Amino acid sequence: MSNIVENPTAYFRSLVPARGEQLRAMEQEALTEEIPIVGPVVGELLYILARLLNAQRILELGTATGYSSLYLGQACAETRGRVVTLELDPEMAFKARQYIERAGLSATITVETGEAIGLLAQLEGPFDMAFMDIEKVDYIRALAPCHRLLRSGGLLVADNVGFGDADEFNQTLRASTDWRSVSIFSFLPLHSPEHDGLCLAVRL
């Protein structure tokens, strides 16, 4: 007989990590304005992974309002690292810069505005970690540039791999000899959506 808690959804929702006033305000804004964010569970996971790597340089593809950027930035502030985050929408990029400034992380996080694939071609590595959260159909196009930019042993984290448009990316990673990866489908409280997939891949 399974000994799992009676209501796992409610139980794990009760274990959502604590966060400050600014992150909670960003969550409310995301809910009101239908802005997709990673939520505090994935945010905390990103922070933990960045700290485990002692990351000095992190690349983020898809900033939105900067919610996930703040988690990555908090880690880099402690490792004396830097985050470069790429955002297509100038209005979102402007809003993200405001949130980043309020959090006191302007010296740690740089927001670049433009189409991610084009911006990737202009960047030089190595990065220790990359977080991918752009249009899912573009994941496959970003895979080779991320491999170029990540150091050997660097970590790629891709959000929303439960979306159909991420299938080619998922299948390519699974068969690739350039990466070692795992994809996890899980309940992620306050994530957009709450039941979704997350991929972690090590650059070989």
Question: Mind listing the pLDDT tens digit for each residue in 151-177?
Answer: 999 999 999 999 999 999 999 999 999
User: Do the domain assignments include residue 5?
Assistant: no
Amino acid at 187: F
Q: For residue 137, is it within any domain?
A: yes
Q: What is the mean pLDDT of residues 117-131?
A: 98
- Residue 8 pLDDT greater than 60, yes or no: yes
Whether 189 is in a domain gets the answer yes
Task: List, in sequence order, the alpha helices (H) in the chain.
Answer: 8-13, 21-33, 39-52, 67-79, 90-102, 116-122, 139-149, 167-175
Q: What is the torsional sign of CA 133, 127, 46, 25?
A: negative
pLDDT of the residue at 2: 73
Please check whether residue 18 lies inside any domain of the structure. Answer: no
Categorize the per-residue pLDDT at 87 as very low, low, confident or very high, splitting at 50, 70 and 90.
very high
pLDDT in tens, 13-41: 999 999 999 999 999 999 999 999 999 99
CATH number at residue 189: 3.40.50.150
C-beta atoms surrounding 114 within 10 Å: 14
Whole-number pLDDT of residue 1: 52
The count of domains in the chain is 1
The whole-model pTM stands at 0.96
Report if residue 71 sits inside a domain.
Answer: yes
CB proximity list for 36: less than 8 A, separation 6 or greater: 30, 64, 192
Q: Is 90 inside a domain boundary? A: yes
Mean pLDDT value of segment 96-124: 98
Is residue 86 pLDDT above 60, yes or no? yes
What's the domain range around 75? 37-203
Residue 31: its pLDDT value, please? 94
Q: Is pLDDT at 196 greater than 70 in this prediction? A: yes
Q: Across the chain, what does the average pLDDT equal?
A: 97
The CA–CA distances, whole Å, from 84 to 25, 107, 160, 174 equal 23, 11, 20, 27
Which pLDDT score, from 0 to 100, does residue 95 have? 98
| Mean pLDDT on 185-196 | 94
Read off the tokens for 97: 């810069």
